[in-house]
Structure 1
Amino acid sequence: MKKLALATAVIAACISTTSVAQEAPPYENWVGGFAQYYSADADKPEPVGGLDDGYGFGAEMGFRFDPSWAIRFELGRVLIDKDDRIPGAAADDGVQLGADMMYFLENDKAYMFAGIREQSLEESYRMGSIGIGKHWVTDENWRVITEAATYIDFGQGYNEFSLKLGLAYVFGLNSAPKAQPDTDGDGVYDAVDRCPNTLPGVAVDATGCSMDLDGDGVMNSVDQCPRTPSGVAVDATGCEFKDSDNDGVVDSLDQCANTPSTDRVDEKGCSIFEDTEIFVELDLLFANNSSVVTNTDSEMILEFVDFMRRYPNTTASIEGHTSTVGTAEYNMGLSQRRADNTRNMLINLYGIDADRLTAIGFGETRPKFIEDNAESHRLNRRIEARVVAVIEEKATR
C-alpha cells in the first residue's frame, strides 16, 4: 500500500505542476538516458517471492509524428533487492525492453503513455505499462525527464511501480517565423502599411488604413450611410435604425414586437427559452425497528405526489436506509421493507403509476450521520427519493 501511495502522490504532483509549467516548443525526436527507482511485487518470483525495491538505468528514443502523439522505445537494466525477512528470497537483476504510445497535452504541459514491457530476470515477464510524465525545458535542445509509471503483469497479475528521472536531447525542432515590425500596432506589417500612423484601437483594412470612416462600426464596403453623425445607433447597413421594444433587433427584422425588456431574444427579436431542471425530494423518518409510514398526508408527501402528477414523464427511485444498530443482514431487509411500504403507499393511496416507482434498500451502508448516538440513529432511519423534471423557461438578460 505504501508503494501505491507513493506512486499516486508523484502522479498527482506531476498533474498539479503542469498548470504553471512553461510552454515547450514542438519537436520531432529525442534520445535520452535515465535512472529510476523500481518497486517490484513482493510475490515475485514464484513460489518463494521476496523481491523488494531497487533501481534501474537505461536509455530511450522517441519519435513524435504529430503535435500530440509520439512513440517511444526504451532499453534498461533493473537491479532489484531482496526482502531479508522472507526465507529463501534472492535479489535479481536483468534487462527490460519497452515500447509506449505517448499523448502530449496542450503546450506540452505533460504527457500520458501506455505500452508494454518485456522484463528478463531469472524468469521472463510481459507487462502492460501506464503512466504520466513531463519533459521540462532547460534550453532549446535539452529536456529533463520526470515520469511515474505502473506495470501490470499479463500472466500472473503482478503490480509494480517506477519513478524515472532523466535527461533528453531533442532534435527536429519546428522554429517559429520571426515577427515582422508593426510600428503603429494595427496588425498590418510596416512593409505593406499605407497608413503607418493609425491611432490605437482603430479598425483597419488589409492596407492598414481605417475601414470605418464615420466610426459607426460598419465597414466602408457595406456602409450604405457613410456619413452617419457620431453617436447615432446604426443597423447592419450603417444607417440609423429604430428598435421600438429596445431588444436590440431593428423593427424591420423584428418578428416579435413588444418583447418584454427583461427577455433575451434571438436574431428575430423573439424570446429565447431554455431548459431548466426543477426537482422535489422526499425524506421520511421511521421509528426504531419499524417500516410503517406514518403521517401519509404530510406536507412533504403531498408536495412529492403533486410534483409527480404535474410531470407524468418523471420516475423516482425510493431508497430505504437504517441506522447501524442491529445486524447488517437484518437492517438490509428492514430498509427494503421501508422502501417497499413507501412505494406501495404512493401507488395505493395516491394513484402513482407503479412503473414510475422503484424501491431499493441499502441497509446501514449509506448512513447520513456517522456518530454513534441516539440522534444520529434516529436520523439514519429514513427514506430518500428525488424526482427531476425539465421545463422550458424564458432566458433573461
Structure 2
Amino acid sequence: MLKKALIASAVTAAFSLQPALAQEAPANDKWIAGFAQYYNADSSKPDPAGYFDDGHGYGGEFGFRFEPEWAVRVEVARQKIDVDPFRTSGSEEEGNSFGLDMLYFLENDAAYLFGGLRHQALEQSYRAAAAGVGKHWNLSERWKVVTEATWFHDFGQGYNDFGVKLGLAYYFGDSVSTPQRDGDADGDGVLDSRDQCSNTPMGTSVDATGCNNDSDADGVVNSVDQCPNTPRGTAVDSQGCALVKDSDNDGVANSIDACPNTPATDKVDAKGCTVFAEHQVSVVLDVLFANDSAVVTDPRDAKIVEFAEFMNRYDHTDATIEGHSSAVGDADYNMDLSQRRAQSFVDVLVNTYGINRSRLSAVGYGETQLLDERNVAEAHRVNRRIHAKVVAQVKEKETR
C-alpha cells in the first residue's frame, strides 16, 4: 500500500498545476538534470537470486526542446533493486539503466507526457517501454525542480514496474523563457494581456487599457468629458458639453429639446423627453360562499379591499367576475346559483367601492369548473366561490 501511495502522490504532484508559475518555453532550450529515484519492480519478476522487490537509484538526464511542445532526452541511472530474502538468499541487485524518451509539453508547461525505451542491466538484462507524466517547477529563470512518475512494461515477459523521481534541472540554450503568447482578440490595438475591455467593438476608439475612451462619441475623451451623455451628433466644446444652451442639463440642446423642464433624474430620448418603461401588474381574487348562498358575508375583507383599490387605481381596466358552485344538487340550479354569486359580488364593488358598473361583468359557470372533484365536504367548500383577475399595463420612468 505504501508503494502505491508514493506513486499516486507523484502523479498527483505532476498535475497539481499552479498557473502563477506557468511559463512557456521556446524551441532550442536544453537542460541537464540530476535526480533521485524510487523504483518498484514487479513482484513476479525473477532474478537468479530470488524475486525483485523495490529499490532506489540516482542518475542524470540531458534534454533538448526542439519545438515549444516537443523535446527529446537521454537518461542514465544507477539502480539498486532489493531481492526478496524470504524466497532465496541475497539482498539486492545493482546495475545501470539507460533510457531514451520523447516528451510532449502541455499548454503553458502545465505538465508533460512522455514515452520511450529503457534498457536495464542488472544480473540479467531487461528491455521495456516507458510512459509517464511529469512537470518542471520553476525555481528561477534557469533552475527547475523535476517531478515524474513512470510506468515500465517489459517486452519479453510482460512485467510491469513503476518508478518516481525527484530532481533538479538547469536550463540553457538560445533563450531560457519567453512570455506567454499574447494577441489582440478584439482588434483594438491593445494586447490581450493589458486589455481590460476585451470585447470592444471593432473600430471603437480606445485608451491604453483597451476601453472605450469616448463613451458618447462626441470627440472628447472620458477623462475630461464633463457632459458624458451628450446625444450623438451634438456639437460640443472642449469639455464635451453642448455648444448651445441646455437649460435642464439633460444633454439635449434647447433648440431641439421638446421637453425643456425634464427632471435631472430622468433618462431622456434624443428629443429630451423622459423615457418610460412599460410593464404588467395584476391582482387575483377568490371569495368563498356558504352552502346554497349568494351573499358576500364580509364585503370589507382585506382581499376585497385590495382588489377594489387596484381597480380604482387603474381605472382603464375591466373585470369579469366568475361565479362557481359545488357539484352537490341539480346542475341547472347550480348554474343559476353561480350566476347570482357573481352578480352579488359585482353589486358589492359598485355599491361599496364606487366602481363603475360598466367596467364589470358577471358570468356563472355552475359546477363546470370544479377546483376539487372529490365528493367530500372540503371539496364542496372550495368550489363555492367567485374568481376574478385584473391585469394592467403600467409605464414608469427610467432614471439616468
The TM-score bracket by the shorter chain reads 0.3 to 0.5
Taking structure 2 as the reference length, the TM-score comes to 0.45
TM-score by length of 1: 0.45
